[in-house]
Amino acid sequence: MMITVLVHGLLLACSLHASAATDIGTCYGMMGDNLPSPTQIVALYKQNNIARMRLYNPVPSLSAALQGSGIQVMVGLPNEDIQSIASSQDNANSWIQNNLLAYPGVNWKYIAVGNEIRPNNGESGLSQYVLPAMENIQSAVKQFGLSQQIKVSTAWEMGVLANTYPPSQGQFDPSIGDYIGPIVQFLVNIGSPLLLNCYPYFAYTSNTQSIDISYALFTSPGVVVQDGPYGYQNLFCAMLDSVYAALDKAGASGVPIVVSETGWPTDGGVATSIGNAQTYNNNLIEKVNQGTPRKPGQSIETYIFDMVDEDSKSPEYEKHWGLFTDDGTMKYQVNFN
């Protein structure tokens, strides 16, 4: 009975707040020493008309503060918990009960099962558990009657691709095809999007000799890359369309992409400045409503990284992605309207 009541409340929260959402949210990373309180963070989102939040793991005090806020939430099942969830349906059921159903007034939207896991990077030991964990979480979501409101996925970065240029030649890395293929097919089967951490900043700083910064900042005056019928004036859309091309080649042309992270740091590295970050993020907000050359007119749900500076991270530039300092002061003007 309690589960039935909680599920009903959760469904009501989703339906009440769906119309208030916009396509832009922010990630709220919490690796900092002096972060605002949960109630202050929720107030900061509301005051700035930020309708979506990405959390990297469940935080009970923040979940409590989010109740009734209307903010749509992507919550992460952290990498360190994936093996446990993959090993047991009961564990998956308990995770949903403890972290989502316990907060029926929160507008849960996505569960990101793992972040940037693939067989050929530093999280390679977890790759075998990602799909089983996704399957168990999806079964739990379905069991509790939430599958129409909460979508289950995983967050990848551009490293899952073997080729990104030109965008039409985008292709998933065949050397990890046994990992990628079944997950993509699972997304097709359950009607979930692919979550993509997409950073033109890193693409630019890794190849400054070949990429003009205007292409990375959405300020190119004209087409920079002509790829058949598609002309690209910015790197973000080119990167995104390379993943769409890879999905097409994988038989998953109907899988949408949600950009689960993107942004530009203000200090500590190559081309880091308040001006560049402000230019990137404001232009991003404008462009995502327009779609990409490959998917024109299809608005791109996007989460800017990061809401608040995280001073416990390293190297230095990792501390400076926030739109706000840790005392809640906006570092530069961003228009979320």
Residues acting as catalytic residues: 116, 261
How far is the C-alpha of 276 from the C-alpha of 136, rounded, in Å? 42
